[in-house]
Amino acid sequence: MVHFTLNGETVQTDVDPNTPLLWVVRDYFKLKGSKFGCGAGLCGACTMHVDGAALKTCVTPIAAVANKSITTIEGLGTPEDLHPLQAAWHEHAVPQCGYCQSGQIMAAAALLDANPNPSSDEIDAAMAGNICRCGCYPRIKRAIQSVSENALAYDAMAQTEGRA
């Protein structure tokens, strides 16, 4: 039995401990926002936060996240209560097909949590693990910058909403 925290809720599962976190979250907890893209940790579509850090969960066995805190795209914000990055994604019309965007946003959120005002090169480096076949990269970068340029407001919002 593996215990962990999923979007703030304590949960447990008795699946094969080798099962990747991605499939536990998708097939057993039925949260479908995190995506399967490659199954080999190469594309980033499955990115979630594990104790605040962005992690490719299609190659992370569930046993490795025992007692850790997992945040998925569903835990970051909702259509009614958008995370600032999600609002920026809408404002800059970032998504095209949209399939990779959960992973992109989770990678970006972890970046900004660690580095609220990243340079262009730092954004490139942090986002290089996430593939977008529609070619949304220029807009993803612009959206991240729009939030990071308002880093103070972002911090304040994060604190009041408990998203430190």
- Find the binder of another protein among 9, 12, 17, 32 (CB under 8 A): 32
Q: Note whether 9 binds another protein by CB under 8 A.
A: no
- Find the binder of another protein among 40, 160, 162, 164 (CB under 8 A): 40
Q: Note whether 151 binds another protein by CB under 8 A.
A: no
Shortest Å, Cβ 35 to another protein: 7
Shortest Å, Cβ 117 to another protein: 18
Q: Give 75's contacts (C-beta < 8 A, 6+ positions apart).
A: 6, 7, 8
Task: Please answer whether residues 61 and 13 qualify as being in contact, where contact means their C-beta atoms are separated by less than 8 angstroms.
Answer: no
Q: Note whether 114 binds another protein by CB under 8 A.
A: no
Q: Which is nearer to another protein, 4 or 58 (CB)?
A: 58
Q: Give 96's contacts (C-beta < 8 A, 6+ positions apart).
A: 134, 135, 136
Tokens of 156: 């304040």
Q: How far, in Å, CA of 115 to CA of 67, rounded?
A: 26
- Find the binder of another protein among 124, 149, 152, 159 (CB under 8 A): 124
